[in-house]
Structure 1
Amino acid sequence: MLEQTVEIINKLGLHARAAGKLIETTSKFSSDITIEKEGRNVDGKSIMAMMMLAAAKGTTIKIKVNGEDEEKAMNEIIALINNRFGEDE
């Protein structure tokens, strides 16, 4: 199991489009993916769960990935977040 903490840095936070891109990425992997914010864990493959986190810019989340493709999954998720979900700033 891999765990990594990352800060949401895009201007609008984990809004609908960003959450959609995150789910598009996480759904490609067979590993179990969980996102944690302030002690609350949600399914990293559920768009409704992502939206309910209400992770604004500056929010720190913990990504937990467990499975055979966990390393590749973690790398792609972190890259997506650090790339501001492809949004212009």
Structure 2
Amino acid sequence: MERTVTVVPEAGLHARPASKLVQTVNRFDADVSIGRADDGDEGLVRADSMLSVSGLNVGHGESVRVVAEGDEAEAALDAVCDLLSTAVEQNEADGGEAE
């Protein structure tokens, strides 16, 4: 399964948002990959690797493709897409966590 989502966090997929993404992915029994929406399969990287995710250099407002396989693929996609479509910085300032 796969989805395309626009990255909302101001920092894009760097630092804290990338770390939260990796933490979120690791909660599920699923293999999750992420890449720029227009890069095709060769642009996908493992979403459970901080180095790989931050290495994509995806900025705020860019679209990414999220692909998941496994027993909890749909739940993983839901969680990742929710995270990427939420202003992480604002959520934390309000005392909540985007997950």
Instruction: Mark yes or no: TM-score above 0.5.
Output: yes
Tell me the residue number matched to 2:89.
Answer: 87
Aligned-partner SS, 2:90: coil
* Alpha-carbon distance, 1:73 to partner: 0.7
Q: Could you tell me the percent identity over the aligned residues? A: 29
Give structure 2 stretches of 5+ with no counterpart: 92-99
Structure 1 stretches of 4+ moved >2 Å: none
For 1:36 and 1:10, the matched residues in 2 are separated by 16
The alignment status of 1:33 with 2:32, answered yes or no, reads: yes
Aligned pairs, number: 87
For 2:83 and 2:35, the matched residues in 1 are separated by 17
Tell me the residue number matched to 2:8.
Answer: 9
* Alpha-carbon distance, 1:52 to partner: 0.4
Aligned-partner SS, 2:13: coil
For 1:34 and 1:12, the matched residues in 2 are separated by 20
Give structure 1 stretches of 5+ with no counterpart: none
For 1:31 and 1:7, the matched residues in 2 are separated by 21
Query: What is the RMSD of the two structures over their aligned residues, measured on CA atoms?
Result: 1.4
Aligned-partner SS, 1:87: helix
For 1:45 and 1:58, the matched residues in 2 are separated by 22
TM-score with structure 1 setting the length: 0.90
Aligned-partner SS, 1:24: helix
Q: Which has the higher strand share?
A: 1
For 1:8 and 1:79, the matched residues in 2 are separated by 10
